A and B are shown apart, each in its own frame.
Chain A
């Protein structure tokens, strides 16, 4: 097939989707509004705290803590992040096994921002035919300059506000905003906003479906996550093509009976499903990499089917195994699969453990280490001394006093310097050196001892330690 010269790289035509109404469009729009409301408004939610930035959600990197409402996360809690990411991954696999690329079509940030940008395009430039006309017009055209220029301006503003909002999560929003516009913010803020503005604009205005087709790995391994029972957007080929293939609804082929009598399927080749597709694919080609399962082609086809007085569902959410039946059953969510149940159980267990771990976090971290160099010291009167380092980190949210005592050896043998009661500020760590001095006879018994650390609330933690001596 060498009728035209081989091109390994080609300029791709822009996808200009037509707008459509329907339940999937409403669902996408609702989720878009909700997501944007949370993303753009959350940094502005105030929260009163004893110690820390008075904002509900803030990632205080200089302060080394992340604050989510009443939960303060310290660097020691990075295990929660690992577990959370793992839960997110398994949740993704779980949902995909059930309903296909629901993340891609309804929730992915690329989809959300591209959808919003297409809406702006539609609002300022009009429907698809007009937008195509404007894109072909030269820039000297006044209407193009005004409308397309305004579109790009609004896009840049949205991209800028998106980037700025991202930066606002990392500091106190009102103050950071003021600092940003008076030129007094840290360099990191300006770099972040600059980079994210550019990448948001490029991703949502220019790259769009190229992210899904060429960059994002998710689409490429979807086939590994699907089962024949997975629900995803399908074109009912048997119904649409019939025995004689699809055919346009010309004279004599408009009524259902006429079409079926001639062996044609219900698809009238109107190509509305292709026109509304944000990635520009044809769902009638079957399940493919480019279909992000946004459901807009379902709305499109159902709109046409209603006008043709035919049953809806020519393009619908269904399972491959169901469509292969001679008489497909009504589509249903098939959760009775080992994979789905396995993921579900894993999710429940991991989430329960994460919840338990978070709610049962102690208000202070502690660890006791034996000083091993030297393991023991002989004092001038012959007594043996061991030295220990007790590390205390206060995670309670306010300054706290801790009392340290010892069990297993006489209390008089413990010397904590000035720190038998030690005051620690919130989020800070201190090292307390503890020495235990025993007579040579008692030392030879090599007693086991425990350091008890007590806070005013009555929480007690015990760290075991050993006593070493010469032989």
Chain B
């Protein structure tokens, strides 16, 4: 059995501690050399070693479609790779968008799978484009952006009307009546307006406000309608319901505070309600999908 005795490496520690040498097969060390060669090839293909303020660029490339729609090739870099992967992902989504573009909105909302796509893709697009103002679930912010989840629509709540709002944008405007009306007149109108939504008001003042509302002096009915239920063409809201966007009436503590809120709006007017026009940023297919999505946030008409 002499040929089976295992050689030691020759080193001896602490007088008698030796290390046995069982030679590994040759492919083991050649495998290591192969990994070294692989590493070098990797360095040549991909961006690698820093040199001064620059680095070795690598011979690899990424091809993507640039803004003009032409194929452009850059040296390998992760930004181009991201762009390409986004384009591939959009191409994968395209069949669904094409289907939605071809079908009427009624058909889309009746197909369970297509509707699910609207909800999933819509959630992502809403978060990216709309949530900055209208908040994550479309609930809006009093004094700033309207609530898209309720059933009150200034410019109309059908899918077509929502689509028009998204495409062309909206510019809310209410004149500053502080320059046209006296303070007592504004006080009376505000009592009348609050009476429309069921608040307990001073009846005399409210009657006076009613007259002013429907007269040519106040001229409120021009925009808000004879019945004060609003007019879509102007984006003038319905003053008879429980939903307030600019005057924070629900949060006001007492009638005095509520009246003050309404008076503020009438006096100073409103000139800050801007809904951007999205036709530059989103394609028609995306706008159509978002319109269905917003409609299905619950309050669509």
Contacts and interface: CB of A to CB of B under 8 A. Distances in A.
B284 to A, nearest CB: 24
Contacts of B135: 373-374
A334 interface: no
A387 interface: yes
Contact of A374 (B115, B139, B242): B139
A380 B150 contact: yes
B52 interface: no
Contact of A432 (B24, B112, B136): B112
A380 B243 contact: yes
Interface string B12-41: 000000000101111111000000000000
A164 B292 CA distance: 48
Nearest to A7: B23
B238 interface: yes
A214 B23 contact: no
B7 A385 contact: no
A423 interface: yes
Nearest to B18: A1
A301 B216 CA distance: 119
Given A1-B8, A8-B21, A382-B242, A431 B150 contact: no
B165 interface: no
Interface of A: 1-2, 4, 6-12, 207, 210, 214, 282, 285, 371-374, 377-382, 385, 387, 389, 417-419, 422-425, 428-433, 435
B149 interface: yes
Contact of B23 (A9, A285, A378, A419): A9
Contact of B27 (A210, A373, A385): A210
B25 A210 contact: yes
Given A377-B150, A379-B152, 11 more contacts: A10-B24, A373-B135, A377-B298, A377-B299, A378-B242, A379-B243, A381-B242, A418-B110, A419-B112, A429-B116, A431-B120
Give the most central of A1, A381, A389: most B CB within 10 Å. Answer: A1
Nearest to A3: B7
Interface string B233-256: 000001001110000001000000
7 contacts: A9-B28, A11-B26, A12-B26, A380-B152, A382-B242, A422-B112, A431-B120
B150 to A, nearest CB: 5
A214 B109 CA distance: 62
Contacts of A10: 23-26
A12 B23 CA distance: 9
Contacts of A11: 25-26
Contacts of B27: 207, 210
Contact of A418 (B10, B109, B113): B109
Nearest to B112: A430
B208 interface: no
Contacts of A419: 112, 115
A382 B119 CA distance: 27
A382 B240 CA distance: 11
Q: Which of B120, B149, B243 has the most CB atoms of chain A within a 10 A radius of its CB?
A: B149
Contacts of A372: 137
Contact of B151 (A371, A379, A432): A379
B9 interface: yes
A436 B4 CA distance: 83
A385 B242 CA distance: 14
B149 A377 contact: yes
B296 interface: yes
Interface in B109-156: 109-110, 112-113, 115-116, 119-120, 135-139, 147, 149-152
A337 B151 CA distance: 72
Nearest to B29: A9
B24 A379 contact: no
Contacts of B150: 377-380
Contacts of A381: 241-242
B127 to A, nearest CB: 10
B113 A425 contact: yes
Interface string B88-116: 00000000000000000000011011011
B119 A433 contact: yes
Nearest to B136: A373
Contacts of B29: 9
Nearest to A284: B1
Contacts of B26: 9-12
A261 B133 CA distance: 103
A61 to B, nearest CB: 16
Contacts of A4: 7
Nearest to A213: B25
Given A214-B28, A371-B137, A380-B150, A6 B7 contact: yes
Contacts of A430: 112-113, 115-116
A268 to B, nearest CB: 16
Contacts of B9: 6
Interface string B73-99: 000000000000000000000000000
Nearest to B118: A431
Which of B112, B120, B243 counts the most chain A CB atoms within 10 A?
B112
Contact of A285 (B4, B21, B110, B242): B4
A8 B109 contact: no
Given A9-B23, A9-B26, A424 B149 contact: no
A9 B25 contact: yes
Given A12-B25, A374-B137, A423-B112, A380 B242 contact: yes
A435 B242 contact: no
